[in-house]
Chains A and B, each alone.
Chain A
Amino acid sequence: MFALQDTKGEALVTQATQTEETTIIQGGKEAPVNNKVVAKDVAVHYSGAQALFDIDLDIPERRVTALIGPSGCGKSTFLRCINRMNDTIEGCAVSGSLMMDGVDINSSDIDVVELRARVGMVFQKPNPFPKSIYDNVAYGPRIHGLASDSTELDEIVHRSLEKAGLWNEVKDRLLEPGTGLSGGQQQRLCIARAIAVSPEVILMDEPCSALDPIATAKIEELIDEIRENFTIVIVTHSMQQAARVSQHTAFFHLGKLVEKGTTEKIFTEPEDQRTQDYITGRFG
């Protein structure tokens, strides 16, 4: 179901002229956690132009990892590698290895539909289906056959909306169209829809950029709550948001991973000058 949605991605990176050698700094102390996704030497080409160069990045389980960097730095491209959304883009070639729980997600015997049920996605603009609130959430569990009867489906819908912090606001109008909700509610509906199929990883591409501060705070609170159960990767242009919601941060620049580490470390004591310049607002 998630493949239905990506109509317009971020501007594709076309620069491939980067020559300097990038060193990646692993900063900060972190408690030992399982790595849900392990990327090694991931490179992406769009019709010959290289957009991502040798990305090595571990995504820790049940943590929020924020990907930051200027527009066109490759963070969304990397995000889309994790559920193979790049497959839908003509001329896009992904190389290197991306392992989820030790299994290569780019291997030919991976069922992409099943992968995208395990790796959900929430987009920049809330994009509910032109269906009722109930059907928006029930759609995924239905096509994946997750509920054996309507009682069970009702339960999944209820639980998902509750987890997404939307239940109390919509419980009396479940059959009204999802598109009739406010922007922030629509985005929480999309998160409920993503949660409904019990994914392991949730990818969020600028989930709050179209929302006001209150709706943004609600989504951030939601992210903080659901990270108990899910591994979350969020792309955001708001550095303050990355600082607020994530435990790990990776800084991308010109298609390369410049620095990764705990969020505290990146925002108080970054090691690479480019990270420092970017987060302090010295280049954009």
Chain B
Amino acid sequence: MASEHIVKSFDDELSQLDNLVATMGGLAESQLHAALDALISRDVVTAEKIVADDKQIDGLEEEINIQAQNLLALRHPVADDLRLVIAGLKVSSDLERIGDYSKNIAKRTQILTGAPRLGTSNSIKRMGGIVETMICDVLDAYLARDMDKADDVRNRDEEVDALHSSLFRELLTYMMEDPRNISYCTHLLFVAKNIERMGDHVTNIAENVIFMVSGHRPSEARPKDDETPFTLVDSE
């Protein structure tokens, strides 16, 4: 952050925490990318690999927990140093959840290989692509301590919510058209929901970046555009 500590090993330990978060974030991002590719191309082998690789993300979270615990116990960080450690802890648990959602998409991919080609893959790909960029940007913001960039990412979640709402309606329509679609569409609904939840976790990370830099969490409510909780099937 600002200038260096008098005790240099303290700086080393703090940047080690940064590196762990960066590695974990990079992995979460590539897992999502791979999960989307595997889903669209119905690639079961890649999907299996994604499920197995999630352990790496979990392992990194554990490393971050240990590193943060040691910093708290041995260095007694205060002010911006303390916020960095707290943010590191919280960001890692959001990244771990993001990893879980990619894993879940990969699991569903293994079932969805037999599904009829419905017109939803483009929407899912687009939605996932936005979240992937958001993960990338929020990590940049984290490492650069860039509050404005974090705020920008936070506001982009609205787009994800909107896409989720329209996918939701689209999938309902397919289900009403042909009840044989219901099983597959339900899985796709979960995939869409997973991506939407990832966006929420990215938003949490963005808020932690703002907290880390400024010392307070953003107060104003962020824009939301998720209508699915209020969507009903018109059964006429």
Residues of A within 8 A of B (CB): 239-240, 243, 267-270, 273, 275-277, 279-284
Contact = CB atoms under 8 A, between A and B. Distances in A.
A281 B13 CA distance: 14
18 contacts: A240-B76, A243-B78, A268-B82, A268-B83, A269-B79, A270-B79, A276-B2, A277-B3, A279-B79, A280-B5, A280-B81, A281-B5, A281-B6, A281-B10, A282-B4, A282-B5, A282-B6, A283-B3
Nearest to A271: B215
Contact of B78 (A267, A273, A284): A267
A268 B79 contact: yes
A282 B3 contact: yes
B8 to A, nearest CB: 11
Nearest to B215: A269
B5 A239 contact: no
B2 A267 contact: no
A284 B10 CA distance: 15
Given A243-B78, A267-B79, A268-B78, 6 more contacts: A270-B79, A276-B2, A280-B5, A281-B5, A282-B3, A283-B3
Contacts of A240: 76
Nearest to A265: B215
Interface string B213-229: 00110000000000000
B7 interface: yes
A280 B78 contact: yes
A273 B2 contact: yes
A259 B2 CA distance: 19
Contacts of A283: 3, 6
A270 to B, nearest CB: 5
Interface of B: 2-7, 10, 76-83, 215-216
A230 B69 CA distance: 37
Contacts of B7: 281
A166 B41 CA distance: 78
A281 B8 CA distance: 10
Contacts of A243: 78
A284 B80 CA distance: 17
B139 to A, nearest CB: 24
Contacts of B81: 280
A279 B6 CA distance: 11
**Closest A-B pairs by Cβ, 6 of them:** A269-B215, A267-B78, A280-B81, A276-B79, A281-B5, A279-B78
Contacts of B4: 282
B73 to A, nearest CB: 13
A68 to B, nearest CB: 11
A208 B80 CA distance: 27
Contacts of A276: 2, 79-80
Contacts of A275: 79
A284 B3 CA distance: 13
A111 to B, nearest CB: 42
B76 A280 contact: no
A282 B76 CA distance: 14
A265 B216 CA distance: 11
B77 A280 contact: yes
A126 B72 CA distance: 33
A267 B79 CA distance: 5
A239 B215 CA distance: 20
B78 A282 contact: no
A71 to B, nearest CB: 14
Nearest to B81: A280
B75 to A, nearest CB: 9
